[in-house]
Every structure is written in C-alpha cells, then in structure tokens.
Structure 1
Amino acid sequence: MDVSVSLWVGTIGVLVGLIVADFFIGGRKPHEVSIKEAGIWTAVWVALAAIFGGFLWWHSGSQPSGEFFAGYITEKSLSVDNLFVFILIMGKFAVPRIYQQRVLMVGVIIALVLRAVFIAGGAALVTTFSWVFYIFGAFLVWTAWKLVKDARAEEEEEEFEENRLLKSIERRFPSTDKYHGTKLFIRENGRRLMTPMLIVMLAIGTTDVLFALDSIPAIFGLTQDPYIVFTANAFALMGLRQLYFLIGGLLKKLVHLSYGLSVILGFIGVKLVLHALHESGVHVPEIGIPFSLGFIVVVLAVTTVTSLLASRKQEHAAEEPEKIDA
C-alpha cells in the first residue's frame, strides 16, 4: 500500500483527535463507568474501526482493507487476554473504581506509544531480512503451545508481579501509599512524592509491552504494511478501556479463550513460515487474507460459544450439591 507522508500525518492527527475527544466527553471527570456507557463507547470504537476499514477499501482496494480487518480482529481478541492482567493490576494497587477509567486511558496511551516503537522496529526487520519470518513464525507456534500449557495448568490463585521498570521506579522515587484524586505527584512536608496513580498507569502501559511480544509478530503474519499494522493496533487498543468495563465480569466465563488464541497464533505462525519459505524460493502454498480473516472469526465464535456452554455447565454442577443439601 502506497502511504504518503500526508496520509501518515493526517491519520495520526485523527487518532490524537479521537483520543482527546474520548477524554473530554467520557474520561475527564472521574466516575464509575456503567455497563450502558461502556457498551455505547465500545460500539462507537468498533464503528470507527469499520469506517476506517471502509476508507482503506475506497483508498487502496480490498486487499489493504481485508488486511486491516484481519489484523484488527486479531489484535482485539488478543487484547481481551490483556484484561485479565489489568484486573489483577487494579486489584493489587487497590484502585478506586472512580479512577479506574483514568488509569486505563493513560495506560493505553503509554502502551500505544511503546507499540509504535515495536512496530517501527518490526517493519525495519521484515523489510531488510526475510528470514525473520522464520523466527516470528516459530515464536508464535511456541507461544501457542505455551498458552495451551498454561490454560491446562491448574492455578488456584493468580498474582500480578511488578516488572523491573516499576521496581526500579519505586526504589528511586519516594511515593505515598494513598490516592490523592487523579494527581500523579503531591508535596508533603516539603517533599515531592509520587502517588499510586502514576505507578499503576505505568504498570498498565509497560505490562502491555509483554503482550506486544506475541501480538506484533502475529499481525506481521497477516500484513507487512507498517501503516496497517499501526492503525489496527491503535483501533484495537483505543477501545480497550470501555471493553474492560463492559466484559470485565464476563472474563471468567471465557474459559476457552486461551485455547482459541493459541489456535489463532499457531495458525498465523504456520502462515509466516510458509511465507518465509515462499520468499526463499520454495514453492509452497500461501494462505490468503480472506481465508485468514474467516478462520480467525470462526475460531473466536466457536471459542466464545463453547466457553459460555462450559461455564453454564459448571454453574449447574455447582448448584446441584446446594439443592441436595437443602
């Protein structure tokens, strides 16, 4: 896809404008986000992504548009897995519900900036070295296997462990253990102290980098266009805050999500290896975008249905002993 400098500048300008509008309309005043509000904003962000995909179709044809939708759906589904960790982070830092949307908004912006750096590096690699697709493909297949292994492991309790960056910041900068509204720093007895609000924002933003380690190679398996990779990530991340409040209570019911994501990552890993072989001159079939998009949608649909059925079965099984005791 031929992307001019003006299109890049215009796209980034529109995305920044959407973030600013989101902040002033729904995120400026701290408050508890209702299901209705989260549902409306989630629908708005999905609609905006669909409009952008339509723009790509009009501007460059069906191929870039198909790549965007495949990348967007993949990144969106992978970002749902992020929400499990976000819930753990919110619990560890005991973030009041009225401040959680501010934390997520700033955390997502930090994550988007860091992902942009990852995307730029990934684009430079795949442009210069075609063999990097072997590494990306093998890594995704390994990640898929690890997801299945983790899903089958019985863990009674999950805890969030701070990364090295956060530990380093907390050691070097004095902080308070109490929240002071949305303030990031306060002065107390003449000392400048960092509040938990800043720490948890950094936790959300930097933890997302760990998820980017598999999501960025995954989307490069669907398209090598940096513009599409960036915009798909941007639209997937910018609706993540509302999705947190919309399906936060339903996450525990998505018991087969890890299996679905592992199938998708394994599929894209195989696709990358086939592409690498093709680039090396080996005559092997390549998987097209229409098939990839359909495969991803079907896997997510099946995973969601089986998860809800399994959760309902577990609930019925848990209710039976109670009825017997009664």
Structure 2
Amino acid sequence: MVSTAVWIGTIVFIAGLLLFDFFFHVRKAHTPTLKEAAIWSSIYVGIALLFGVGIVVFAPAGWGGEYFAGYITEKALSVDNLFVFLVIMSSFKVPAKDQQKVLLFGIVFALIARTALIFVGAALINQFAWVFYIFGLFLLLTAGHMLKPDDEGENDANNIVIRVAKKFIRTTDHYDEDKLFTRVNGKRAMTPMLLVMVAIGGTDILFAFDSIPAIFGLTTKTFIVFTATAFSLMGLRQLYFLLDGLLDRLIYLKYGLAAILGLIGVKLILHALHENNVWFINDGEPVKVMEITTQLSLTLILGILLVTIVASLVSPKGKAITAIRNAQRYADRYLDLDYESDPRFREITYAKLVRASAMLRLLKEDHRHLIRQEPELLEKLERAKVIHDEEFAGDPGAQRYPG
C-alpha cells in the first residue's frame, strides 16, 4: 500500500516537471535545436529510470519489474502517438516555433485523460474480475486493427470534431502567434491553433483507451500504472523534435506494437481465467492455466521492440519511405514562409532537404512506385532550389540542391 505522502510527493514532482517545461522551454516560442532536444530527452528518460530504481530499492519485491515493463510499453505506445501528432501538425501547418506549446498541451491532456481512466479501470478491476476479459479482448482487437493496411485518410486532421467546430464558430485560416482566438474585421474568431489542440486532445482520448488496458495487463497496482504512464509521457515533446525526419523509418513499429498488445491481451485473458468467477465459464470456477509472469513479459516486450527497431533501420524499404516523406516534408516546410521565419533554421531545413533529395536519386527502381504524385514533388524540389539560390545568390558557402 502506497502512503498518502508518497502519492502527494509524486504528483507534486510530476506537476513540477510540467511547470518547469512550460516556463523554461515552451513559454517563449522557439524552435528547439537538435542538441537541446537530445539533452532534455535524455534527462527525462534518466529521471524515469532513476524513479524505477527507487521503486526497486524501496518498494516490495516485484514492483520494480512491473514499473519497467509498464514504462517501456507505454513509451513505445507514446512514440506511436508522435506519428499522429506529426500528421495533425503537418495538416494544420503549425509554425515550428509554436509546435512545442501544442505538444505540451497534448502531453498534459493525455496525462489527465489517462489518469481518469486509470482510476476508473482500477475501481472496475477491484469490483469485477471479468473486466480482465474485456480488457484482454479489446487489446487483441486493437492488435488486429494495427495489422490492417494503412488508410491514407485515417489520420486526417480535418475530422468530424473539427468540421463541427468550423461550422458553428467563426474561424480564420491564419495563425496569430500562439493565440487561440483573434479578431478579424473587429469580430472575434477562432485561430487554427485552437483547432489543432482540439484534434490533439481527441486523439489523446482515443490513445488512452489503448494505453490503459495495456498497462493494466502488466500490473494492477494503481501507483505503478500512474507513474509508469506519467513518466512515459515526460520528454515526449523533446523526443518529437529529436526524431524529426526519422519517425517514418520505423516502418515495422506498428507490427511490434501489435505483437506487444496481443501478448498483453493473452496475458490478461489467462489471468482472467485463473481468477474466473463468470458463471458460464467453467461453472464460475477458476481455470487452471499457465500465467505469463512479469519477468517473461518484460523480456518479450524488450525483445519485440529490439527486433522491430533493428528490422526497421536496416530495411531498404524503410530507407526509401524515409527519403520520400522527408523530401516532401522538408520541401513543404521550406516553401511555407510562415512555418519558420528564422534564417538559421530555414537553412537547416534546406540542408535536410538536400540530403533527402540525394537519397531520392539513389532509390532503386522497385522502390520508386512508393513516390506518390512524383511530378508534383519534383516541382516542389525545383521551386525550393530556385528560392534558395535567389536568397543566397553570391554566397559560395550556401547549400545547393543536388538536382
């Protein structure tokens, strides 16, 4: 049993981290450098690991293993969240310097949504053992859904919530820094920033329904569920910028996550059978079945993630998809003057575009079919080259597009 003092201290510490993140990093709009993102991402991972070590040392035996299994699983699911965040912010063309605030809002909203579901889930589990069956079947269905072919419109930011908001609330197509509302011709109007946050909040709720049953399959201790979930979300903002341009490389991540969710779903159902009191299953008596231990779960989760990441990084198809999507993404960013106004970061974007364009030229013929609307993409690359050459005319040190 975790004391009230420990609960309060933990919540205050996590809230302090979020406030520190806001006041020292997010409050002043800016685009974080790769170095900044790497340092702070490492710090947040280090804090989560140290917290886990503290649980191993001071908590009862077995708690540490459950925390680390939960943290690793939730962290992997959080990386999957980043794909959708990337799609949403690209769809709304959120300026680079304002993306940190959107991400921090997403993290805070995700923490609130998941905390609510944690306590609801814990209450249900304590009262009704059959809930394990529901959670297990839900995770198996989710795993099966992940294995379906990608739907091009599945992550479109212009979802029904956004369409309804646009219909009933006056909106503007332009950002006014990071303001949620602005005035157009003297009338109050909603900016795209508010729509972005609505879209992010909606996806957070959907992800919570996958995340919470998954971690309850690894531990039923509310304190472990809460802390593993909270610390997995810490540093997600920095990780977004650290993995910029590399997220597309993890082409097998969804298969790894499907395997992990499937594993946890089976674990939950086996546990439900072991604790069975449902009258139509074995006359309401427990069923003697093998249960998957926390140690085995942790080993399998780490193994699945390792195989998934290595396979993605060495995959020729993964490299091709990364080059294509990076070329598209960096071309759109460079051509959108509202995305980044700082000349230093525009030059960094162009340098990334140069590298992605060079990779495009090296694509094998059997991978070129992956390029959708190739003439349009090539036209964007040429426009980016012309704009860059005009901006840096006479500068012999400027990057040049390898056309």
TM value normalised by structure 1 = 0.91
- Does the 8 Å contact 1:111/1:206 carry over to 2? no
The aligned counterpart of 1:303 is: 308
Structure 1 residue 198 and structure 2 residue 229: aligned?
no
**Partner residue in 2 for 1:242:** 238
Unaligned runs of 5+ in 2: 277-285, 321-358, 367-403
Higher helix share: 1
Task: Say which is worse superposed, 13-22 or 157-166, in terms of deviation.
Answer: 157-166
* Cα distance, 1:64–1:313 mapped onto 2, change above 3 Å: closer
Q: Per-residue CA shift, 1:60-98, capped at 9, x if unaligned?
A: 134112111111100110111111111110011110111
2:117 is the counterpart of 1:118: yes
| Structure with larger Rg | 2
Look up the match of 1:36.
35
* Corresponding residue for residue 363 of structure 2: 319
Counterparts of 2:319 and 2:174, CA distance in 1: 39
> In terms of mean alpha carbon deviation, does 87-96 or 204-213 score higher?
204-213
CA distance in 1, matches of 2:317, 2:99: 29
* Matching residue of 1:94: 93
Alignment partner, residue 54 of structure 2: 55
Deviation at residue 23 of structure 1 after TM alignment = 1.6
Distance of 1:58 and 1:313 partners within structure 2: 41
Question: 1: CA distance between counterparts of 2:56 and 2:87?
Answer: 39
Contact 2:53 2:64 in 1 (8 A): yes
After superposition, the C-alpha distances for 1:203-242 in whole angstroms (9 at most, x for unaligned) are 1122111111111101000011121111111111122111
For the residue of structure 1 that corresponds to 2:363, the secondary structure is helix
Q: Which contiguous aligned blocks of 4+ residues in structure 1 show a shift greater than 6 angstroms? A: none
CA distance in 1, matches of 2:59, 2:183: 54
Aligned to 1:292: 297
Paired position in structure 2 for 1:263: 259
Structure 1 unpaired stretches of 5+: none
Tell whether the 8 Å contact from 2:73 to 2:301 is kept in structure 1 after alignment: yes
CA 87–29 in structure 1, closer or farther in 2 if over 3 Å, else same: same
Say whether the 8 Å CA contact 1:108–1:205 is kept in structure 2: no
CA deviation map 1:253-275 (0-9, x unaligned) = 11111111111011000000110
Range 277-286 or range 171-180, more displaced: 171-180
* Cα distance change, pair 159–286 in 1 and its aligned pair in 2 (3 A): closer
The correspondence of residues 195-234 of structure 1 with structure 2, limited to 5 A, is 195-234=191-230
Q: How do 1:91-170 residues align onto structure 2 when only pairs under 5 Å count?
A: 91-150=90-149, 159-170=155-166
Q: 1:311 to 1:278 in 2, by over 3 A?
A: same
Once residues 21 and 59 of structure 2 are traced to their aligned partners in structure 1, the CA distance between those partners, rounded to angstroms, is 28
Cα distance in 1 for residues equivalent to 2:196 and 2:208: 19
* Deviation string, structure 1 residues 39-63 (Cα, Å, up to 9, x no partner): 1111011001011112222331341
Count of aligned residue pairs for this structure pair: 318
Structure 1 residues 117 and 162, CA gap change in structure 2 (3 angstroms): farther
Query: What is the one-letter code of the residue matched to 2:240?
Result: Y
Corresponding residue of 1:283:
288
CA contact (8 A) 1:107 1:202 kept: no
* Cα distance in 1 between the residues matched to 2:77 and 2:318: 25
Could you tell me how far apart the structure 2 residues matched to 1:237 and 1:93 are? 23
The answer on whether the counterparts of 1:108 and 1:204 sit within 8 Å (CA) in structure 2 is no
- Report SS of the residue matched to 1:69: helix
Aligned-partner SS, 2:251: coil
Change (3 A) 1:319 1:259: same
Over 3 Å counting, the alpha-carbon distance change for 1:166 and 1:227 in structure 2 is farther
- d(CA) in 2 for partners of 1:313, 1:209: 29
Which SS does the other structure have where 2:244 is aligned? helix
Give the share of equivalent positions with the same residue, in percent: 51
Contact 1:187 1:193 in 2 (8 A): yes
Distance 1:124 1:311 in 2: 47
Higher relative contact order (CA 8 A, sep 6+): 1
* TM-score (normalised: structure 2): 0.74
2:111 and 2:206 map into 1 onto residues whose CA distance is 13
Q: CA RMSD in A?
A: 2.1
1:92 partner amino acid: S
In structure 2, C-alpha distance between the alignment counterparts of 1:160 and 1:186, rounded to whole Å:
25
